């Protein structure tokens, strides 16, 4: 990339650039920053000239970012956060926000937290929209490209370079089965994990689990009869069969009554620490600092205080 003369660069182009890189659509980007479509097209032309790169090219009926554009996206978002901070009053006012916050997580977080979060946002930040998206292997890349702001995880989740984790809430693991299950009325041992088929939740194709690592350390291997990316589908299957599952106790308790489920303590350390993961580039964003606080407070009401 050639060197840009900052003295001759119109900083008003930065919001346009951020919207274009995020939306990858001239019309939608124009609406985000309050420009007409022709004005956004002119802004894109000036940005292409300034960077000496097409930035967005036509592909598959839409616009795709060039390699340079992909590398610019998180840097531009972070730079805008810093610039806004220069002119922001000390008192942050969430009621003045107009933006979307994008979270990545499973249906357990959606079911337990989304109702409380959206009610809180409508009271304190009615201009904020909440979008919850699935977790996939490219989750860090999506966060680096400013496509996702925050991802739900657990303390056992390995963090790649460029990411940071904050405690969200403390929970427990629960061994869950239907009330009429042959082993529902007794305390389980590790050996029991090999005796009954299991249902598991896996966001990635390999289905690797920390629980399986714990069992392997004790010389126990379980049969996994059902793997799904959905917690709700998992406990529904358990309620209708002799499968068992080991999941968040807070989530399992929510549906134990309606699905007639039995919860037992697993025969190993049942500590489950929920966390939230973001990129270090977005750490200084005042909106996300405020939202992470909101998320901790609402999670505490659902799970218990984070440790």
pLDDT in tens, 102-126: 999 999 999 999 999 999 999 999 9
Higher pLDDT, 260 or 279: 260
Buried b (16+ CB within 10 A) or exposed e, 59-93: eeeebebeeebeebbbebbbbbbeeeeeeeeeeee
Residue 203 has a pLDDT of 81
Among the residue ranges 37-46, 87-96, 262-271, the one predicted with the least confidence is 87-96
CA dihedral of 143, 149, 154, 160, whole degrees rounded to 10: 20
Residue 213's Cβ-count burial label (10 Å; 0-12, 13-18, 19+) is exposed
Write out the two tokens for 220: 């126990």
- Of the ranges 76-80, 254-258, 274-278, the best mean pLDDT one: 254-258
Residue 22 has a pLDDT of 84
* CATH fold for the domain made of 6-87: Arc Repressor Mutant, subunit A (1.10.10)
Residue 146 has a pLDDT of 76
Chain Cα centroid distance, residue 91: 27
- Of the ranges 10-24, 34-48, 101-115, 158-172, the best mean pLDDT one: 101-115
Task: Find the mean pLDDT for residues 82-98.
Answer: 74
> Taking each helix axis from N to C terminus, what angle separates 26-33 and 13-23, rounded to the nearest 10 degrees?
130
Domain boundaries 170-270, corresponding CATH code: 3.40.190.10
Residue 88 has a pLDDT of 56
Task: Find the mean pLDDT for residues 3-14.
Answer: 64
pLDDT at 46 over 80: yes
251: confidence class by pLDDT, cuts 50, 70, 90? very high
Write out the two tokens for 93: 């006012």
Residue 307 has a pLDDT of 39
Among the residue ranges 86-90, 187-191, 248-252, 279-283, the one predicted with the least confidence is 86-90
Work out the percent of the chain whose per-residue pLDDT is above 70: 88
For CATH 1.10.10.10, the residue range(s) in the chain are 6-87
Domain 94-167+273-302 architecture: 3-Layer(aba) Sandwich (3.40)
User: Which residues lie below 8 Å from residue 275, measured CB to CB, with a gap of 6+?
Assistant: 152, 153, 154, 155, 157, 165, 166, 167, 168
Among the residue ranges 24-38, 137-151, 202-216, 271-285, the one predicted with the least confidence is 202-216
Residue 233 has a pLDDT of 96
Looking at the DSSP bridge assignments, the partners of residue 131 are 102
Q: If you average pLDDT over every residue of the chain, what do you get?
A: 86
Work out the percent of the chain whose per-residue pLDDT is above 90: 44
For CATH 3.40.190.10, the residue range(s) in the chain are 94-167+273-302, 170-270
Task: Find the mean pLDDT for residues 302-306.
Answer: 69
pLDDT at 227 over 90: yes
pLDDT at 36 over 70: yes
Supply the pTM of this predicted model.
Answer: 0.69
Residue 67 has a pLDDT of 87
Q: Tokens 């699905």 sit at which residue?
A: 259
């Amino acid at each position: 990339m050639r060197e840009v003369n900052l003295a001759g660069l119109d900083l008003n182009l930065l919001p346009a650039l951020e919207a274009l890189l995020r939306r990858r659509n001239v019309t939608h980007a124009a609406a985000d920053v309050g420009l007409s479509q022709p004005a956004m097209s002119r802004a894109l032309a000036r940005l292409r000239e300034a960077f000496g790169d097409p930035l967005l090219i036509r592909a598959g009926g839409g616009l795709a970012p060039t390699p340079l554009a992909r590398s610019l996206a998180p840097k531009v978002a972070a730079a805008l956060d810093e610039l806004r901070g220069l002119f922001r009053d000390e008192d942050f006012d969430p009621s003045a926000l107009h933006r979307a916050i994008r979270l990545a997580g499973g249906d357990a977080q959606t079911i337990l937290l989304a109702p409380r979060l959206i009610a809180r946002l409508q009271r304190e930040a009615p201009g904020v929209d909440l979008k919850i998206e699935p977790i996939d292997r490219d989750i860090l890349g999506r966060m680096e490209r400013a496509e996702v702001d925050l991802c739900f995880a657990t303390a056992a989740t390995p963090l790649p370079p460029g990411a940071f984790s904050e405690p969200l809430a403390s929970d427990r693991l629960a061994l869950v089965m239907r009330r009429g299950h042959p082993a529902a009325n007794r305390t389980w041992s590790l050996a029991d994990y090999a005796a009954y088929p299991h249902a598991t939740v896996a966001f990635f194709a390999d289905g690797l689990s920390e629980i399986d690592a714990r069992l392997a350390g004790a010389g126990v291997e379980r049969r996994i009869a059902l793997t799904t990316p959905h917690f709700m589908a998992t406990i529904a299957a358990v309620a209708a069969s002799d499968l068992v599952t080991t999941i968040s106790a807070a989530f399992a308790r929510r549906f134990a009554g309606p699905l007639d489920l039995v919860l037992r303590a697993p025969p190993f350390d049942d500590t489950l620490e929920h966390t939230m993961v973001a990129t270090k580039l977005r750490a200084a964003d005042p909106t996300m600092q405020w939202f992470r606080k909101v998320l901790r407070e609402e999670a505490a009401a659902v799970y218990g205080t984070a440790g």
